[in-house]
Chains A and B, each alone.
Chain A
Amino acid sequence: MKKQYLLSIVPIVLGVCLLAFLPSQEALLEELPIGSQAPMTDVEVKDVSGKMLTLKDVAKENGLLVNFSCNTCPWVAAWEDRYNPIAKLAKENGIGVVALNPNAAIRDDGESLQDMKQRAEKSNYQFYYALDEGAKMAEAFGATRTPHIYLFNSDMELVYRGAIDDNAKSAKDVEQPYLKNAIKNLAAGNEIDPKTTKSLGCTIKWPS
């Protein structure tokens, strides 16, 4: 009995000891893995139009594109000239589009629904722009920055995650239009490659 008990706790003790020597990687959220189901698809979010939406409502026959975005990030501003062309491409390919604003900590500092409405009007957004209240969606997706892209197929499985393309600063100098390629390949039933990419961006302002 005693031997069995010892045998059962030895791996636990060893594991704890090992953990103490591992490098600490705090606050590195786990981004939703490729192949995962879209989370929180039935949760209502408020669009700048005042309409309440769910991700399920926004999705179309070939899938759903979610972009965690905001009003105050220079990286969003740099990529913004590609927002409407990508939304157009997605819609033409039967993919619904929504941008979600997760910057809950600075709603009084440029990220309120009213600010979002103004941004959507000024930039003539041709897609939903909804409030991710309390950054709950961002947390469920493992989003870390703006912009941060998640593309789902018709079964609401994640097929692409990451950057819009490889050049925030200049649309004309893009060499790898990752998201455009992913949208086209998703609609055509082709393999998406790469499935994940990375880019710099503004950290999400999480509620305290």
Chain B
Amino acid sequence: MMMVIVPIHQSYSAPTTTAEDTLLKDVTGSELQKIIDSYKGEKAVLVNIWATWCAPCVKEFPEIVKLQRNYPDDLKVIFVSADFPQQRDEALNFLKKQKVDWTTYFKTGKDQPFIESLSQEWTGALPFTKVIDMNGDLVASWEQSASYEKFEHHVKTAINP
């Protein structure tokens, strides 16, 4: 009689990547900068730092989603949630409710290096938005919420630098 030995690793299910992992990925400030840089020469980039507890962020969020839908070929919107770790599920639920179907990010690490990696001028108030043109140059950055028209104005400049 032959014995079949099944290697242990075959019966072990490795953790799989879920859709939720893809929708909201951990990111540090330096990793975020690399992600932004990866679009250089291809697309304009709009980075928006938000949180579920931030009323002005929640208010402007649908406008930014709309902007991404209206400029799918020329613009990459990069959302970064600055929620506390225990609010990660709330952030995920919010993204799903807003029908966001591309990868977004969840801030990890200390505040100061994260803030400074994005902008020397940003004081840390949320929301924060930064628009970068196709050449990787800064077009505009601001704290406080904005209207669709304001986002679009800067995005148009970023697309046609």
Q: Which residues of A contact B (CB under 8 A)?
A: 23-29, 31, 73-74, 78, 144-145, 148, 163, 166-169, 197-204, 206
Contacts and interface: CB of A to CB of B under 8 A. Distances in A.
A28 B54 contact: no
B148 interface: no
Interface stretch (B69-77, B95-103, B120-128): B120-128
A169 B84 contact: yes
Nearest to B138: A23
Interface string B73-115: 0000000001011000000000000000000000000111011
A202 B123 contact: no
A163 B116 CA distance: 14
Contacts of A78: 84
A198 B116 contact: yes
Contacts, number: 87
Contacts of B144: 27, 203, 206
8 contacts: A23-B138, A27-B143, A148-B123, A163-B124, A166-B110, A201-B124, A203-B56, A203-B126
Contacts of B143: 27-29, 144, 203
Given A24-B154, A198-B112, 8 more contacts: A24-B142, A25-B121, A26-B140, A29-B143, A78-B84, A198-B124, A201-B124, A203-B125
B40 to A, nearest CB: 16
Given A28-B142, A78-B84, A204 B125 contact: yes
Contacts of A148: 123
A198 B126 contact: no
A23 B141 CA distance: 8
Given A200-B126, A203-B56, A26 B111 contact: no
A201 B126 CA distance: 6
Contact of A144 (B82, B110, B123): B123
Contact of A202 (B125, B137, B154): B125
A145 B125 contact: yes
Lowest 5 A-B CB distances belong to which pairs?
A145-B125, A24-B140, A203-B125, A23-B138, A144-B125
Contact of B140 (A25, A29, A73, A163): A25
